[in-house]
Chains A and B, each alone.
Chain A
Amino acid sequence: MSAEPRIVAALPGAGHDGLPELIVRIRFENGAERDVIIDNDAGLRLLAGCGVDRLEALAGHSWRQVRQALLNLDATVSAASLGD
């Protein structure tokens, strides 16, 4: 069991506003999984924040990266501090 929630998958989606979006599946400590849908810009920040260039490579990263991307926080925070 993971010490904290982690991304297990990310899939492309289509947003209500006509822009692409990202569906991020997060597995919680108890094994439950839930989807979080984030907009185009946040999705781009998530990929950049995790330092990856493909959706599959998001798997394994901390849920905190999603929060970081959603809040548009400074991406210079170290990966270690985010539990990666």
Chain B
Amino acid sequence: MYDTVIRNGLIVDGSGLPAFKGDLAMVAGRIAAVGAVRGTGAVELDAKGRAVAPGFIDPHTHFDAQLLWDGAARPALEHGITTVVPGNCSLSLAPLRRSDREALCGMFRQIEELPKESLDGSAFSWTWESFDGYLDALRRSLRINVAPLVGHSVIRLWVMGAAANQRAATAEEQTAMQALLRSCLEAGAVGLSTSYVDVDANLHPVPSRFAHSDELDGLAGVLGEFGRVLQVVPEFYNTDITIARVDQLAELSLRHNITTTFSPLFDSANTPDNVSRVMARVREQVRRGARVWPQVQTRPIDISFSLDLPSLFFAGNPPWFNALRLARPERLRLLKDPAHQARLVAAAGANGGDGWLGGLIVRQLPGDNEGLEGRTLREIARERGQSAAAALIDLSLEHDLKVHFLAADRGHEVPDRVGPLLADPLVHIGASDGGAHICSFSTYGDTGYLFSKFVRETGQLTLEQAVKKITLDTASIWGLSNRGLLRAGYAADVVVFDPDSIDRGPERAVNDVPGGGMRYVRDSVGVEAVYVNGTLAWDRSGYQDTSVGEIVT
């Protein structure tokens, strides 16, 4: 008898081959059979009308700390993600000496927007200094699989101490870093991450940015010994420098026979040749035999602002821009002045700024007794019988300028440009940043959006192609053995979903970060059940009380 049999599903097995109707059996954490399963299961699930696919793999996350108080990396798991790769962008929580904790926590707080209480030892116990000690701490309550990267910045911190973010390393220090990386890879790290962009709590460059190229070359050599991956954050805001980094990664890939990936790469209507130029260089380097994978996110980029701080959002409208960049007391005086309010409303454009401001979404509204969060300014203005511009001002004044507004789809938002990019065989779908920027926007639901937008709405990817992109392709790039396919003998990471409705839910704020911190999340839509290593970890009834996640390599 099998542990579980999922019957009558549409098997989308991760290979990219056409889906077919069939069953899937699991036993002892592995897939036992796929097709027409004759034996019975202790548990049977009817998946008629539902897709059955390998669990999705998210290759770019920052769940390093969250996994210690939430082994499911909520809400990633409920979106069908069964394996996450934390430790990106040069930052991991190990190896880390006790004396360096505060320095590293500052970097995490800056990049992930975590409150102090989430890292001060009250949410979890700092029981480790070594990388394998960290993995042991993770293993105690994992509900999701973890393929951890080790961060270049923490390796520098361990070897160089306070000098890590001040200077290049000596030859002896480089040798020590290589030995340390070797021990992390032996413990279970799937690669090394580095960054040329990130900053710490004092807006000072993180340690990895002080490394000379020979230091990275030496570390890449160690990755080559283990066949592991190098993840890089290049200067993505500059096309020329990004292309230079592609060349650098290609050289490292060829010299050390390693896979490299960089993130993010995204499209913008105002920098229309960025993607095409970078991809042209990627193709050129791939033809040489290099393995350089650009990571592209599925979701569009939203931006947020309040009237409490000056924002370039208003830079296209001088009357608004000039009023809102005044010192706070003067700004408040102007906003409260009826005559000036009328001038601003008039300057907002036709219909009281409906076109410019009406689509803004209200978020982070302190003491939201009216249920306004998540609604558009247009709706609220209509109810109040005023213009969108007037509603923007009044809502802000009513809440001491602390209301945040979201302008959706302001970058990476044109399906005819993003869809073909995601479908490109040389593009690695990723860069979700799960667990980071938690107070700014939701980094969850990118997989649901992939299906709703680019499979169902635009048809730029087939269902099979989309599943392959976030399962087998990801497992292959990262060298995760026995994951990403529905095949007998493979790990039974399985997601059951409705292909006609899978999506991401609306963004909402929750206060579930240790210390009372808030974050934005999105619930899953259309996902029905998620199995991790053969055990039901989530279904529509909620998260299951399991600890079945593994450190995967």
Contacts and interface: CB of A to CB of B under 8 A. Distances in A.
A53 B305 contact: no
A12 B437 contact: no
Contact of B238 (A16, A20, A36): A36
Contacts of B322: 53
A43 B271 contact: no
Given A14-B410, A18-B304, A37 B271 contact: yes
Interface stretch (B182-190, B312-320, B486-494): B312-320
A75 interface: no
A23 interface: yes
A13 B310 contact: no
Contact of A37 (B237, B302, B305, B310): B237
Interface in A34-84: 34-38, 40, 43-44, 47-48, 53-55
Contact of B315 (A16, A34, A55): A55
Interface in B438-465: 440-441
B126 interface: no
B325 interface: yes
Given A21-B312, A22-B312, A53-B321, A16 B301 contact: yes
B321 A20 contact: no
Interface residues of A, number: 26
Contact of A18 (B264, B318, B325, B437): B437
A13 B270 contact: yes
Contact of B264 (A16, A22, A40, A54): A16
A53 to B, nearest CB: 4
A12 B304 contact: no
B364 to A, nearest CB: 12
Contacts of B315: 12, 20, 22, 43, 47, 54-55
Contacts of A14: 268, 301-303, 407, 410-412
The residue in B302, B312, B318 that gathers the most chain A C-beta atoms within 10 A of its C-beta is B312
A1 interface: no
Interface in A6-25: 11-23
Interface residues of B, number: 32
A35 B310 contact: no
B266 interface: yes
Contacts of A43: 312, 315
Contacts of A37: 237-238, 271
Interface in B496-527: none
A52 B116 CA distance: 39
B481 to A, nearest CB: 32
B351 interface: no
A49 to B, nearest CB: 13
Contact of B301 (A18, A34, A40, A48): A18
A34 B242 CA distance: 13
A18 B441 contact: yes
B270 A12 contact: yes
A53 B318 CA distance: 6
Contacts of B325: 44, 48
B239 interface: yes
A12 B271 contact: no
Contacts of B236: 16
B96 to A, nearest CB: 25
Contacts of B303: 14-15, 18-20
B368 interface: no
Given A23-B270, A36-B238, A53-B321, A12 B312 contact: yes
B266 A16 contact: yes
B386 interface: no
Contacts of A36: 238
B270 A18 contact: no
Most buried by B among A15, A16, A34: A16
Given A23-B270, A23-B271, A43-B312, A15 B239 contact: no
B360 to A, nearest CB: 13
A15 B268 CA distance: 10
Nearest to B272: A35
11 contacts: A12-B313, A18-B301, A18-B441, A19-B305, A21-B237, A22-B312, A35-B271, A44-B310, A44-B312, A54-B315, A55-B315
Interface of B: 236-240, 264, 266, 268, 270-271, 301-305, 310-313, 315-316, 318, 321-322, 325, 407, 410-412, 437, 440-441
Given A12-B313, A19-B305, A44-B310, 6 more contacts: A12-B312, A14-B268, A14-B407, A15-B301, A19-B311, A54-B318
